């Protein structure tokens, strides 16, 4: 693409640096912003600059936060004895959006992956162990990737907590609601048969 304006070219390059955005989509965004009122554009750039500048990490769960302690950890309505262990912010948003979970979170910041140089020191595992020991947490729900790395991470955490009375659980894996059996991968299908549930618990899940 050849631009006759360096200003436009720089703006297109800025957008095209974002994940999943090519030069054509970037140009479309730039032309959209070009037509907006100055206040609208100022609002756009301010929202991004402020987000990057003011965002913090919750001292409790290490989720992104607007304050020292995040809005979930500081919510008195949440169940403090349950902690869901996730890899990142995206998982917190996904679970929160179901509106079915009322406990707290712990964001590890990734999963153990020796090949990528990610060991326990790079993750928020020590602070999780400390939370469990000090805050009387009763249940730790592992919501990690169903991969070798995810399983290793869950296993490593379980080992660290072997001497505590905490109950460890993991989110259920299986065929998605509305998913068709013939399109499920073999691993998922095999596991969902092995880990089958009594019919009555299945029915109550469907209704939930």
- The residue (of 59 and 167) whose beta carbon lies closer to its own copies is 59
Tell me the DSSP string of 93-143.
HHHHHHT---SEEEE-SS--BGGGTB-GGGTTHHHHHHHHHHHT--EEEE-
Residue from 60, 62, 72, 91 that binds its own copies (CB under 8 A)? 72
Does position 101 bind its own copies by CB under 8 A?
no
Query: Between the CA of residue 10 and those of 17, 31, 36, 170, what are the distances in Å?
Result: 11, 13, 18, 47
The answer to whether 83 touches 105, Cβ cutoff 8 Å, is: yes
Residue from 77, 99, 163, 183 that binds its own copies (CB under 8 A)? 99
Residue 101 to residue 77: CA distance in whole angstroms: 12
Residue from 68, 90, 136, 190 that binds its own copies (CB under 8 A)? 90
Distance in Å, CB of 79 to its own copies, minimum: 16
The answer to whether 12 touches 27, Cβ cutoff 8 Å, is: yes
Residue from 59, 66, 79, 155 that binds its own copies (CB under 8 A)? 66
Distance in Å, CB of 172 to its own copies, minimum: 21
Backbone angles phi, psi at 105, to 5 degrees: -125, 165
The answer to whether 104 touches 79, Cβ cutoff 8 Å, is: yes
Does position 205 bind its own copies by CB under 8 A?
no
Residue from 59, 68, 81, 93 that binds its own copies (CB under 8 A)? 93
Does position 125 bind its own copies by CB under 8 A?
no
How far separated are the first and last CA of the chain, in Å rounded? 52
| Residues lying near its own copies in the complex (CB under 8 A) | 1-8, 10-11, 13-14, 17-21, 25, 27-34, 36, 38, 41-45, 47-55, 63-66, 70-72, 89-90, 92-93, 96-97, 99
């Amino acid at each position: 693409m050849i631009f006759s304006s360096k200003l436009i070219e720089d703006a297109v390059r800025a957008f095209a640096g974002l994940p999943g955005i090519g030069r054509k989509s970037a140009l479309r965004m730039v032309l959209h912003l070009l037509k907006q009122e100055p206040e609208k554009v100022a609002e756009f750039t301010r929202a991004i600059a402020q987000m990057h500048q003011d965002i913090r990490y919750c001292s409790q769960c290490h989720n992104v936060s607007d304050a020292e302690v995040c809005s979930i950890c500081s919510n008195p309505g949440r169940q403090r004895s349950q902690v869901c262990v996730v890899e990142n912010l995206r998982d917190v948003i996904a679970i929160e959006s179901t509106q079915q979970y009322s406990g707290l979170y712990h964001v590890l910041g990734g999963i153990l992956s020796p090949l990528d140089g990610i060991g326990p020191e790079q993750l928020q595992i020590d602070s999780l162990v400390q939370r469990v020991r000090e805050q009387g947490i009763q249940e730790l729900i592992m919501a990690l990737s169903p991969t070798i790395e995810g399983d290793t991470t869950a296993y490593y955490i379980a080992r660290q907590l072997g001497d505590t009375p905490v109950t460890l659980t993991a989110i259920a894996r299986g065929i998605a609601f509305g998913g068709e059996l013939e399109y499920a991968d073999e691993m998922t299908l095999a596991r969902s048969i092995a880990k089958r549930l009594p019919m009555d618990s299945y029915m109550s899940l469907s209704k939930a």
